[in-house]
A and B are shown apart, each in its own frame.
Chain A
Amino acid sequence: MSAAHGLVPEAPAAPLRPLPPRRVPLWRKIVGGVVGIALVSAAVYAQTFVLTADEKSDPLTVSGGMHDELRTSHFSARLERVEFARTVRVKKQYSTDDAKADETFMIVKVGLTAPRRPTQVTSFVLTADGLRFEPTDRVSLSATLGDKWIQPGWWRSGLFFFDVPADKLAGARVVVAEPKTLFGDDYMPETSFDLGFDRPKARQMAGAAKDVYEVSG
């Protein structure tokens, strides 16, 4: 025994006896359970606020109507005029291109300036039922504002041409934004203009469309 004392570690002291559990009244158990379930439900509900990947890359939209000057951190825009035409004639230096619409071209004149850096913008039409119309490719890009640089210090006006059926135009909006890149910044600004069209007005304006609209480009 005496030899074992130096080699074998001493047995630990016997553990203290745990205190007898406190009696918790039943109503407090119930309240605690309800509060716990409420907290868990709130945590699960809070997950519905998490943005999806698409929503995270959504732009920051500034909305307005005709002739409103909408300012964003990258550009300012105003919608100056909306016209309709069946044919767009692009006069170039040595040639003239005619573009015929399926129904009518909606011609949107936009004025733009930039607060700090040169930038380029593009535009599209969002209809009330969620359809999205890009500018038509029948009219060459050089006649539109799509390939122009917007610079600080002065306003630049230009046109965008959309081939949109007139019966889709009720409640449609014209959106002006910087072109989306595959990888880029989040929270890019865009401006959204309400055209203020209802169904009869859109039909009446499309019915009064010009035959030929001449632009240079």
Chain B
Amino acid sequence: MKDVLDMIRPYDAAPASSYDAAAATRAQARLDQILAAGPAPSSQRPHRGAALRLGLRWAAVPALAVLALVVTVVLPGGIATTTAFASWTAQPRPLDGTARSALDHACTAVIAEGLAESPRVTLDAPTLSIAERRGDVAVAVYTSTAGRGPILLGPRAESAHCLAFVEDGVPVVVQAVIANADNARSTSMSVTPDEDHAVVDGWGRWGPPRGDVPVDAVSLTSVSGGRIVDAGDFTLVQGTVGADVVGVVIHADGRDVEATVSDGSFLAWWPDSGRLGWEPGTTDVDARFTVTLRDGTVLGDVRTDEL
């Protein structure tokens, strides 16, 4: 089918020909009327559709505090329903080729808007380290090796993740979160461009990556989540893996969730509101892990501090 924009283009209700000489004459009279009245004394700013303004909310919090992503959105009418979370699967499907590129493109655009909006978070030379799909939800994780924080505060991590609903094969970004964290504090911002699926009650905790993760261990770097309008709650866990780790399964909230492991990172998420009790810089979390090593060894049902 022809592109719909090309189809409707000829049906312009106000083509250029509609602005005739009579209209131009009336316009000149109106201009004279405005100028004759002189400039108004005050600058009266029209509302910028505050109720419709979505998107950028961000917060900076101490590393041990829970981040509340305050996104209050009430839109009249037209709220769509989704089966995105109903299609969730415990096993991820890696995205590659055009699907990966499409997700990367969509996420990069939203992240760029977030970075332009807030100078308080940075993401230098990000690399798309994970792109996975569970049902109709695709998630991308970006990491950056750039560390720009004070040396005394130790390593500083810049990262981002992006969650998109796949609609007719097209990833529609629901939320992108950019986070910076060091040993003293974490700063993050959330971009929620989809007015039909606004993220409310967002939360998250971020910490710097451990530089000394044993080859057969995993280390958490963030636990975050929120509630998506007309979809539900979700929890998203990210971390780093040792060099010999090829598989991670997280046992939490009554689920066994297989993580995507790639480029030294892992990612898993599930539709539930568990916060796992994790604090940055610690290995204490209300979840257990099964880790598969490169030689086939399975370290089953252990906590991260036991690895």
* Chain B associates with chain A: no
